[in-house]
Amino acid sequence: MTLNLSKISEAYFKKLFLPKSLDSSVSPESKSSVLVLDQFTTSIISMCYTQTQLLQNNVILVELLDNYRSFNKMKHLNCIVYIKPTKESIQAFINELSNPHFKSYQLFLNNTINKTQLERLAEADEFEVINQVVEVFQDYLIINSNLFTINLPSNSPTPSSSNSSIVEESNSLISLLLSLKKCPIIKYEPSSIDLKRLSSEILYNINSNSNNNLFDDLNKGSDRPPILLLLDRKTDPITPLISPWTYQSMIHEYIGVKKNIAEVANEQLILDETQDTFFKESMYLNYGDLTDKFQNYVEYYKKETKQTSIENLQTQNLNELKKMLTKFPEFKKLSSNILKHLNIISEIDKEVNNQNMWEIGELQQTIICELDNHQNIKSRLIEILDNSKITTINKIKLVLLFSIRFHNTNDLSLFTAKLNDITKTNPSPTVSQNALLKKFNALFSSKISTTSVANTNANNLGNIFANKTINIPGLFNNNRNNRNQSKNDNIYLQYVPKLNEILADLITPNQETNSGTTLSTLVPDVVANQYGRSIQYEPVQDIIIYIKGGVTYEEARLIRELSASNKKINLIIGGDSILNSSNWLNYLYDLVNDSSTTDVISDPTEERRKQLRDLL
């Protein structure tokens, strides 16, 4: 059975909404319900359920638990309470129980509730209005069917590493494991202190919860235990810097996506593979294939609507007329979806051309995959740095990639001087950006493997560079040259994230590898009792990946491709945020500022900013 987060969510929400509709003897009024959420479950519901779906399940009103004082008395309605069992949410619900506004309450919790909290709820239910208490384990956000994020409130790409946040992070991952019905071996990168603490907390949580039978028999019927793979973003700082060329990744890079919503021209556009067939089929397509598919989508719409035009309807009999008229709502929905993706693709196309990303993207791939020699790459980079039309950010990303690949201090000094030349780069790099250029190589060069960074076939390099200037056609140009090449031939898809080689080591553990990847292992008691501790060296079937510091859509695409190519391996991936190059760079600026000495923070504004962060 594949690991599919969307199916898990669907099953859980049936638990929430289905029981009241099973009894046909109950009147429609009695079936109607109020849904009460907290700040955590609001995001979960909004990303998995539409307003129409809620209405179809007889939910006529949605309220926030924090507003319990202002609830209207509706004693004829039942109430579904879906909250995270935090101290604040439990207390708010206890306060509501002291003066119930609704007929009865069904309490659903998106994570485990402890005995003390249950006792407090029982004592507070003086009016005996709670009908049931159910744990549904979804203390995380589902982005795609194979991609999740931890629902931790934070404005930065990486949440705080405090003890409380580690516990929250662990609890969320525990809920993920319970929802997947998996009790895994834990593997993590030992170089990361945060991952050591997180893995220890998860192990403690599994072992202690085993006493309550939560993890017992979860792996029943499987001859291999799953793996929970914990990785640190800092061991692969390159992937978020590489400009993506597949649909979902490009939307996040050039428009931005927050909780599956992209904003274009002040309009919020929902990107949900469960509700949008075109998006589901296109989200991992490269840009050239995407424009072809969209063009076919438009042609299909034209063909279908032409058959049901008013002129054609006049020639049909009444039965035919009825059939065609019933299709009109579907065509309206189809038309809206076409317009949505047209706006998105047009915005991406505008950004790609305005930023000259064809040239930038090619050079990024050439640098990081070493598809040309050092001198030629250096010359091409200098041309970019001398071009005043190229944005500062794109120049900085190129220099960062060059510095991590070639480690030449003299080259970096030359590039930095050009970046700070106002006649060539406007605006000039900020103090934080200069600090990053100076420190990036020292911070990360030891963490990056120099092998297996490219999906490159040496026999194809001659073809790739036969024409130095690659001509990319316009949005709806039918010229397919250089667009629909295989991945090995496509200059823009040569780089493969480091995650690929880490997974290769796990999937075939006996193979010889140059990756140098060493992972520490923790085996929960229930797994050791079922399989023995030597099972960790056997090939794996299910891998749950969590990247602390943020995951990218390109890594989700890699996971999808690996799953499609090997049907015996089930993979899902997640992180504490979804990264694009912009928010990853913002994190890096803070990282170098916080770790730098006073020679880096020479600007009084930056000094005050650092002092304020220390105070907070």
What are the pLDDT digits (tens) for 21-66?
444 445 555 678 999 999 999 999 999 888 888 999 999 999 999 9
Q: Which helix (H) or strand (E) holds 228?
A: strand 227-232
The residue-averaged pLDDT of 501-509 equals 86
Residue 325 predicted with pLDDT over 70: no
pLDDT score of 151 more than 70: yes
Across the range 492-502, mean pLDDT stands at 95
Q: Residue 311 pLDDT > 60, yes or no? A: no
Question: What is the pLDDT confidence band of residue 156, given thresholds at 50, 70 and 90?
Answer: very low
CATH number of 5-137: 3.40.50.2060
pLDDT value of residue 14: 87
pLDDT of residue 153: 58
**Looking at residues 119-127, what average pLDDT do you find?**
96
Mean pLDDT computed over every residue of the chain: 84
- Could you tell me the sign of the dihedral formed by the alpha carbons of 429, 432, 434, 440, in that order? negative
> What 8-state DSSP symbol labels residue 72?
P
Residue ranges per structural domain of the chain: 5-137, 143-236+497-579, 271-354, 357-492
CA dist., res. 402 & res. 435, Å (int):
16
User: For residue 449, what pLDDT is reported?
Assistant: 54
Q: Indicate the pTM of the whole model.
A: 0.87
Q: Does 143-236+497-579 match 5-137 at the fold level?
A: yes
pLDDT score at 317: 60
- Residue 517's pLDDT is 57
Q: What is the pLDDT of residue 493?
A: 93
Say if domain 143-236+497-579 classifies as CATH 3.20.20.70: no
Buried b (16+ CB within 10 A) or exposed e, 123-139: ebbeeebbeebeebbbb
Q: Which amino acid is at 86?
A: T
Q: 585 φ, ψ to 5°?
A: -65, -40
Range ranked top by mean pLDDT from 21-30, 165-174, 458-467: 165-174
Instruction: Give pLDDT tens digits for 552-580.
Output: 999 999 999 999 998 889 999 999 999 99
- The answer to whether the beta carbons of residues 82 and 35 sit under 8 Å apart is yes
Cα separation, 384 vs 395, in Å, equals 7
User: Which tens digit of pLDDT belongs to each residue from 370-384?
Assistant: 999 999 999 999 999
234-286 pLDDT per residue, tens: 999 999 999 999 999 999 999 999 999 999 999 999 999 999 999 999 999 99
Cα–Cα dist 255/264, whole Å: 7
Q: Is residue 514 scored above 70 in pLDDT? A: no
pLDDT digits (tens, 9 = 90+) for 518-532: 899 999 999 998 888
- DSSP 3-state assignment of 429? coil
